[in-house]
């Protein structure tokens, strides 16, 4: 049979015998590469090492150091976990087990929920199976044959998946006595699964449908080596220590109450102060950038939501009510009222751009299973704004928002990544308008000089968007800011302006948030700072601590002076030891403890102590106020 020629990533070519596999190519390049190879990329498709090559194919060898390796390792480890579960719990039915950003999971139908002890047994069994170095072997079967095989095995979920695929053939991977429906690719043997950890158990409905059976979802993670795994597990432990729900309770910032309802935060005094600080900061930042503050109603007639497309495309996330036999929708977004403000006057091109800003409280129906402290709630406040401009002004406005985001995130110490999210399957508007909007965002991103990725099909139903994902101190990504370009809603609501030629023209609308949900952003801030907020953001900036009761009258005077000039100060005049009061203030992560003893009372001073234990020299109350002003000057 004739030889074949394949092309390597550097453009060079290599001649191989007909029928050669990816592994054969790796071996022909060198023994070291053959030993390190775990998979291949052939004409942009990931394949197993055993995949045969064809003449003219472009081929790259995947090793553990390749960007694609981690997903393959994690996906193969999920199969290893399923094999271990079937070995320990033969009656378990397997469903799906994908690799995800943080690791992998697999859903199982079992008679009794898994316990932490079960997780330990499963992990131990996985280690045994990994050491056995079982090959992962791919087979192509007709769908009919695969259905018959899985039906005989009692794997009803696999049968359903195959029947829903509606294809003639499927691929099945086997390792030892375990077989699974999968596209692959996978590691050559289970021995490559050498650094993994099962992390948690959760409930999950089959196919995410609350009407289907509740399954047991086992989460895990895997890496190429133990060092990476250990580093990841340490980050997880640190994330637990920083959990905003735990810190929120400890600092008495907010609470959730089943009597109130899931997903509705109750803000306590210090939490409400934190919100107020952020909201005041937001108002000042928007006003100096030419935004007008507006306020819209909480409910609007259902007909408006129908005209906007929300009723058709978003109503499963909305709440509806009735007033005087008239249907109303509780707003999940603020854009409709802002368009009504625009329509309240005849607009000229000279009026544009108009930038309407609202700290608008919205309600969205989130499933109970996805609620997560402040990070996913049913009622939240957005720093929402809508810019209405001419098409010619659009590029400048988008760039202005990107610059706004950059400046604000720098104040909090956040770096961020950007994605351009394109048209989803469920959308409104013409192809032409979507193309114009997408191109406008794309060009502004290119001109910004920042790297960005394309996130296909994840735009809003009315327009594409730039998603801005900030990175916290643990390098986790959080979706906060977004910039959406919309030609469609101005058309639906007949928004116009009189152009310089006297003709009526259609404005473009930019929907944008900077922090996004205030609740979510506070949750991120709590975890980023571990509750030790910078002085400008701290709900309590200082606490006055007396050494004995004798200093209380002087301390009261200092307290009133500091509070009068705007220092957020508390007092602790209890008849307790000073060391005890200092420890309590440190646990509350208050930036400054102001010690008042006999010396301070006699000299008319206070002795500041920072929360990390560092003592400062005694100062007068006025001098401390000046000190606080300087420390917070950039945020006022």
Task: Identify the CATH number of the domain in which residue 187 sits.
Answer: 3.30.980.10
384 is catalytic: yes
572 is catalytic: no
Say whether pLDDT at 636 is over 70: no
Residue 534 lies in a domain: no
Tell me which of 93, 244, 286, 364 is the catalytic residue.
364
382 is catalytic: yes
Say whether pLDDT at 287 is over 80: yes
Interatomic CA distance for residues 487 and 447, integer angstroms: 21
Tell me which of 93, 465, 528, 625 is the catalytic residue.
465
Q: Minimal CA–CA distance to 193: which of 49, 107, 72?
A: 72
43-48 contacts, C-beta under 8 A, 24 or more apart: 46/72, 46/184, 46/185, 47/22, 47/184, 47/185, 48/22, 48/136, 48/138, 48/184, 48/185, 48/186, 48/188
Task: Identify the CATH number of the domain in which residue 488 sits.
Answer: 3.30.930.10
Residue 462 lies in a domain: yes
511 is catalytic: yes
243 is catalytic: no
Same domain as 105, residue 191 = yes
Same domain as 603, residue 549 = yes
Residue 554 lies in a domain: yes
Q: What is the mean pLDDT of the chain?
A: 94
Q: What is the pTM of this model?
A: 0.82
The upper half-sphere exposure of residue 190, i.e. CA atoms within 13 Å in the direction of its Cβ, equals 23
Same domain as 568, residue 512 = no
Interatomic CA distance for residues 64 and 45, integer angstroms: 17
pLDDT in tens, 432-472: 989 999 999 999 999 988 899 999 998 888 889 999 999 98
473 is catalytic: no
Q: Minimal CA–CA distance to 146: which of 128, 130, 160?
A: 160
Same domain as 109, residue 90 = yes
Residue 626 lies in a domain: yes
pLDDT in tens, 537-594: 999 999 999 999 999 999 999 999 999 999 999 999 999 999 999 999 999 999 999 9
> Quick count: other Cβ atoms within 10 Å of Cβ 14?
15
Tell me which of 158, 310, 378, 386 is the catalytic residue.
386
Q: How far is CA 490 from CA 92, 387, 458, 586, in A?
A: 54, 11, 21, 53
Residue 253 lies in a domain: no
- In the 3-class helix/strand/coil scheme, how is 164-207 assigned residue by residue? HHCCCEEEEEEECCEEEECCCCCCCEHHHCCCEEEEEEEEEEHH
Tell me which of 384, 433, 472, 486 is the catalytic residue.
384
Same domain as 163, residue 279 = no
Same domain as 443, residue 417 = yes
Task: Identify the CATH number of the domain in which residue 592 sits.
Answer: 3.40.50.800
The pLDDT of 262-280, averaged and rounded, is 96
Length of the chain: 636
The answer for residues whose C-beta is within 8 angstroms of residue 557's C-beta and 6 or more apart is: none
Task: Identify the CATH number of the domain in which residue 8 sits.
Answer: 3.10.20.30
pLDDT in tens, 308-359: 999 998 999 999 999 999 999 999 999 999 999 999 999 999 999 999 999 9
Domain residue limits at 595: 542-635
Interatomic CA distance for residues 357 and 513, integer angstroms: 9
- The continuous run of DSSP H or E covering 215 comes out as strand 214-222
């Amino acid at each position: 049979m004739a030889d074949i020629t394949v092309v390597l990533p550097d453009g060079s070519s290599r001649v191989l015998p007909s029928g050669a596999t990816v592994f054969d190519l790796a071996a022909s390049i060198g023994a070291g590469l053959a030993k390190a190879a775990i998979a291949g990329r052939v004409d942009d498709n990931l394949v197993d090492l055993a995949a045969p090559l064809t003449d003219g194919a472009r081929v790259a060898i995947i090793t553990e150091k390749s960007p694609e390796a981690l997903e393959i390792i994690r996906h193969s480890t999920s199969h290893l976990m399923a094999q271990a579960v079937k070995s320990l719990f033969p009656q378990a039915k397997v469903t799906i087990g994908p690799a995800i950003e943080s690791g992998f999971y697999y859903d199982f139908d079992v008679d009794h929920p898994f316990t932490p002890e079960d997780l330990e047994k499963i992990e131990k069994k996985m280690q045994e199976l990994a050491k056995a170095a079982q090959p992962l072997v791919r087979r192509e079967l007709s769908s009919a044959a695969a259905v018959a095989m899985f039906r005989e095995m009692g794997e009803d979920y696999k049968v359903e998946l195959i029947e829903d695929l509606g294809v003639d053939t499927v691929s099945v991977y086997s390792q030892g006595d375990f077989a699974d429906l999968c596209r692959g690719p996978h590691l050559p043997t289970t021995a490559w699964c050498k650094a993994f950890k099962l992390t948690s158990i959760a409930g999950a409905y089959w196919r995410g449908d609350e009407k289907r059976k509740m399954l047991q979802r086992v989460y895990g993670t895997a890496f190429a080596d133990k060092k990476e795994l250990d580093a990841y597990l340490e980050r997880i432990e640190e994330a637990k220590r920083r959990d905003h729900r735990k810190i929120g309770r400890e600092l008495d910032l907010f609470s959730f109450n089943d009597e109130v309802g899931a997903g509705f935060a109750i803000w306590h005094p210090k939490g409400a102060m934190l919100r107020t600080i952020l909201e005041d900061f937001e108002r000042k930042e928007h006003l100096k950038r030419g935004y007008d503050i507006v306020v819209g109603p909480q409910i609007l007639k259902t007909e408006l939501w129908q005209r906007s497309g929300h009723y058709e495309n978003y109503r499963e996330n909305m709440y509806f009510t009735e007033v005087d036999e008239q249907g109303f929708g509780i707003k999940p977004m603020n854009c409709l009222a802002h368009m009504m403000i625009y329509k309240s006057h005849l607009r000229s091109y000279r009026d544009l751009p108009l930038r309407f800003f609202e700290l608008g409280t919205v309600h969205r129906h989130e499933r109970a299973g996805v609620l997560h402290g402040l990070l996913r709630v049913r009622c939240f406040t957005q720093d929402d704004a809508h810019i209405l401009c001419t098409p010619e002004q659009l590029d400048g406005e988008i760039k202005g928002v990107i610059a706004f985001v950059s400046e604000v995130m720098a104040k909090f110490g956040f770096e961020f990544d950007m994605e351009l999210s394109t048209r989803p399957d469920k959308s409104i508007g013409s192809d032409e308008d979507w193309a114009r909007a997408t191109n406008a965002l794309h060009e502004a991103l290119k001109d910004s000089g920042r790297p960005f990725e394309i996130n296909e099909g994840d735009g809003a139903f009315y327009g594409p968007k730039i998603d801005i994902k900030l990175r916290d101190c643990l390098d986790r990504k959080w979706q906060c800011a977004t910039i959406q370009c919309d030609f469609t809603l101005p058309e639906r609501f007949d928004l116009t302006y009189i152009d310089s030629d006297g003709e009526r023209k259609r404005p473009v609308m930019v929907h944008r948030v900077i922090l996004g949900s205030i609740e979510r952003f506070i949750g991120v801030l709590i975890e980023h700072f571990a509750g030790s907020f910078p002085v400008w953001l701290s709900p309590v900036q200082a606490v006055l601590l007396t050494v004995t009761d004798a200093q209380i009258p002087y301390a009261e005077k200092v307290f009133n002076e500091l509070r009068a000039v705007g220092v957020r100060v508390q007092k602790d005049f209890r008849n307790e030891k000073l060391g005890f009061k200092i420890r309590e203030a440190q646990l509350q992560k208050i930036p400054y403890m102001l010690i008042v003893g006999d010396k301070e009372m006699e000299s008319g001073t206070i002795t500041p102590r920072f929360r990390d234990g560092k003592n400062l020299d005694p100062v007068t109350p006025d001098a401390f106020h000046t000190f606080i002003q300087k420390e917070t000057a950039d945020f006022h």
